[in-house]
Structure 1
Amino acid sequence: MIDKTKIVGASLVALAIALTAGAAMADRGDRVGGMVDQMGEMGGAFDFAAMDADGDGKVTQAEIDAFRAAQTAAIDTDGDGLLSAEEIAAMHIRAATKRANDRAARMIERLDTDGDGKLSAAEMMARPMPARMFERLDADNDGAITEAEIAATKERMGERRGGRHGDQHRGPHGPRGNN
């Protein structure tokens, strides 16, 4: 039979470590997005400084476990100790929203020539990319782009990338499942 005192004691130790890791995460800002790695799976990148809860320059398995437990607790909005599909989706939505907001801010910073904090159609068109992209797609230079020209461009791009163009789950190490 399992000794309940040992289970309660171990749970309290794990909770204390998780709270310490949570405090370290709070010092570094919102880490919920850190749960999402490059392919959108739970696990995230190894954030040494956030995981080194005691600041000793070493990360133990207990610190990693506590860090992950704290991240999971941050996602567990109803506090039931389990992650529902809705809670996981909300985590992904928060991370995607943050990335989109950051990207939009960088875009405005780069392209806002009049400094009003917004992009006009003229500022958007001032970028060299739309004209170059149109020229690249209009293979026969007739001033119009056909579906065939777009398909041919996609095919050329796929050939240059080793046939991987359009693979929705391609990461830094190739398509998922082929690593």
Structure 2
Amino acid sequence: MKKIVIGAGLAALLAVPVLAQQEKPDRNAPQTRAAVEARVRERFAAIDTNRDGAVTKAEHDAYREKKHGERRAALFARLDKDGNGQISQAEFMARPERGEAGEWGHRGHHRGHGFAGFGRGDRFAAMDANKDGRVTLAEASARPLAMFDRADANKDGTVTPEERRAAFETMHAEWKAKRGN
């Protein structure tokens, strides 16, 4: 059987460039504001490598590249079922299908977009509210906490799955209206 050796180029093509995916909260369980704050602090601490209380673009990019490499290696390992360092055509063709639980998300993209806004487009610049080239914990927390507060319809400090779905539907409808769909 012919073997296909996957190089960095194809591995990069297979791996969607996203920032680290931490243990995500269960979408079917209530989520507290305190848990959101804790996840933002944890992610922030992991990215702030010099521990000066601010994340620079260089720290952000280095963290993202490290996690991309880890994702690529993990994807390769999942595809290389026999562990021989090569991916056969059969191994490649047996990859997870789109929408398969736990692996592939919407349209085949891997889920995991970087909590606290790190990792999507030029989010770093968007989070740098005072445009000083550094993102503080307060700046990193602003968007996820605002989204939490928006979803917490009864303002009890907990977002239920029902509140989460309703908030998503509202935001999706607003997005569609903005686009004119």
Q: TM-score, normalised by structure 2?
A: 0.33
* Structure number with bigger Rg: 1
- Higher share of residues assigned helix: 1
Pick 1 or 2: higher relative contact order, CA cutoff 8 A, min separation 6: 2
Q: TM-score, normalised by structure 1?
A: 0.34
- Higher share of residues assigned strand: 2
